[in-house]
């Protein structure tokens, strides 16, 4: 199996670590970063050009770079008929979403967006309880989620990560889309939206945090 990973940030590194544990899995990495000890240890083949990576004919690709770049990369890969796993969120806007969907449908490409909380045992149990009505009929749902951005990756400068930067597609509404996804998965699709968003904290970020 040959896997392409586009983007070598924290989540890209995590995927590399997991995939390297699979026997006979060859990993191709598309990144502008210089090769480091981790990539050498994992025997990754490194390219700086996406076109070169596509020529390697990967069996599937993981799009793990900054949110703002997801769609452009995914479209190029989809046009080559490469199955896709795209890290959440799919994009920071609706631009070119329909174009990507059309290519995926035309090429019949297996595609998934990484909303992984659906696979968490607690979330799966909650969905089962709701579907079987073991906890009764659901009248309303209130969900609250919060975290402290600098604690996410304490080994990195939080101000430089995509989640802190609006220009890279960061912000709480997109970065914390896991919670929105599992609520829709369990209770049904959204029918109406009302929201208030902005920046409340003293963190040195340009993206929204509430």
Q: Which domains does the chain have, with CATH numbers?
A: 2-114 (3.40.50.720), 117-187 (no CATH)
On the 0-12 / 13-18 / 19+ scale of CB atoms within 10 A, 150 is: middle
Averaged over 40-61, what is the pLDDT? Answer: 96
Residues 164-209: pLDDT tens digits? 998 989 888 888 899 999 999 999 998 898 888 899 899 999 999 9
Residues 115-128: pLDDT tens digits? 999 999 999 999 99
pLDDT at 75: 99
The answer to whether the CB of 86 falls within 8 A of the CB of 113 is yes
Which of these, 155, 128, 125, lies nearest to 13 by C-alpha position? Answer: 155
Quote the pTM value.
Answer: 0.89
Averaged over 30-51, what is the pLDDT? Answer: 90
The answer to whether the CB of 192 falls within 8 A of the CB of 181 is no
pLDDT at 35: 66
- The edge-to-edge listing of strands for the beta sheet with 45-47 is 45-47, 26-30, 2-6, 60-63, 84-87, 111-114
Residues 79-119: pLDDT tens digits? 999 999 999 999 999 999 999 999 999 999 999 999 999 99
Averaged over 39-63, what is the pLDDT? Answer: 96
- Tell me the percentage of the chain whose pLDDT exceeds 70: 100
Residues 134-172: pLDDT tens digits? 999 999 999 998 889 999 888 889 998 888 998 989 888
């Amino acid at each position: 199996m040959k896997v392409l990973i586009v983007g070598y940030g924290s989540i890209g590194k995590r995927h590399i670590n997991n995939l390297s544990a699979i026997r006979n899995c060859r990993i191709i990495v598309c990144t502008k970063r210089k090769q480091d000890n981790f990539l050498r240890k994992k025997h990754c083949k490194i390219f700086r050009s996406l076109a070169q990576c596509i020529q390697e004919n990967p069996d599937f690709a993981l799009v793990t770079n900054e949110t703002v770049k997801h769609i452009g990369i995914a479209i190029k890969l989809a046009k080559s008929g490469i199955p896709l796993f795209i890290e959440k969120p799919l994009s920071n806007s609706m631009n070119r979403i329909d174009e990507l969907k059309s290519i995926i449908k035309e090429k019949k490409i297996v595609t998934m967006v990484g909303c992984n909380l659906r696979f968490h045992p607690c979330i799966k149990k909650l969905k089962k309880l709701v579907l079987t009505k073991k906890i009764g009929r659901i009248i309303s749902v209130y969900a609250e989620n919060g975290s402290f951005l600098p604690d996410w990756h304490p080994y990195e400068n939080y101000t430089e990560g995509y989640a802190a930067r609006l220009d890279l597609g960061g912000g709480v509404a997109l970065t914390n889309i896991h919670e929105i996804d599992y609520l829709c998965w369990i209770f049904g699709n959204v029918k109406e939206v009302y929201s208030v968003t902005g920046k409340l904290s003293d963190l040195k970020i340009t993206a929204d945090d509430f």
